Amino acid sequence: MSHTPQPSASPVAGPLTVLGIESSCDDTAAAVLRHDAGGRPEILSNVVLGQAALHAGFGGVVPEIAARAHAERLDHAVEGALDQAGVTLDALDAVAVTAGPGLIGGVLSGVMLARGLATARGLPLIGVNHLAGHALTPRLTDDVAFPYLMLLVSGGHCQFLIVHGADRFTRLGGTIDDAPGEAFDKVAKLLGLPQPGGPAVEAEARAGDPHRFALPRPLADRAGCDMSFSGLKTAVLRARDRLVADQGGLHAQDRADLCAGFQAAVADILVRKTGAALALYRAEAPCAPLIAVAGGVAANGVLRARLAAQAEAAGVAFLAPPLALCTDNAAMIAWAGIERMRAGAALDAPLVARPRWPLDEGAAPMLGSGKRGVKA
The count of chain residues that interact with ligand KG4, using the rule CB under 6 A, is 21
Q: Which is nearer to Zn ion, 150 or 239 (CB)?
A: 150
Q: Which is nearer to ligand KG4, 33 or 200 (CB)?
A: 200
Q: Please give the residue ranges that form the binding site for Zn ion (CB under 5 A).
A: 328
Task: Report, in Å, the least distance between residue 1 CB and ligand KG4.
Answer: 27
Neighbours of 243 (CB within 10 A): 18
Q: Does 167 bind ligand KG4 (CB under 6 A)?
A: no
Q: Which is nearer to ligand KG4, 17 or 310 (CB)?
A: 310
Q: Does 197 bind ligand KG4 (CB under 6 A)?
A: yes
Q: Which residues pair with 148 in a beta bridge?
A: 163
Q: Does 204 bind ligand KG4 (CB under 6 A)?
A: no
Q: Does 98 bind ligand KG4 (CB under 6 A)?
A: no
Q: Which is nearer to ligand KG4, 177 or 328 (CB)?
A: 328
Quickly list H helices, 191-293.
197-205, 230-247, 252-282
Distant-in-sequence, close-in-space partners of 272: CB < 8 Å, separation ≥ 6? 217, 220
Helix axes 230-247, 180-190, angle to 10 degrees: 10
Q: Does 147 bind ligand KG4 (CB under 6 A)?
A: no
Rounded Cα distance between 337 and 94, Å, is 8
Q: Does 50 bind ligand KG4 (CB under 6 A)?
A: no
Rounded Cα distance between 192 and 231, Å, is 19
Sign of CA dihedral 127, 97, 150, 218: negative
For residue 351, give the 3-state DSSP assignment: coil
Q: Does 51 bind ligand KG4 (CB under 6 A)?
A: no
Segment 267 to 306, residues that bind ligand KG4, using CB under 6 A: 295-297, 299-300
278 binds, among Zn ion, ligand KG4, none (CB under 5 to 8 A by kind): none
Rounded Cα distance between 131 and 117, Å, is 23
Residues that bind ligand KG4 (CB under 6 A): 25, 154-156, 181-182, 184-185, 196-199, 202, 295-297, 299-300, 327-328, 372
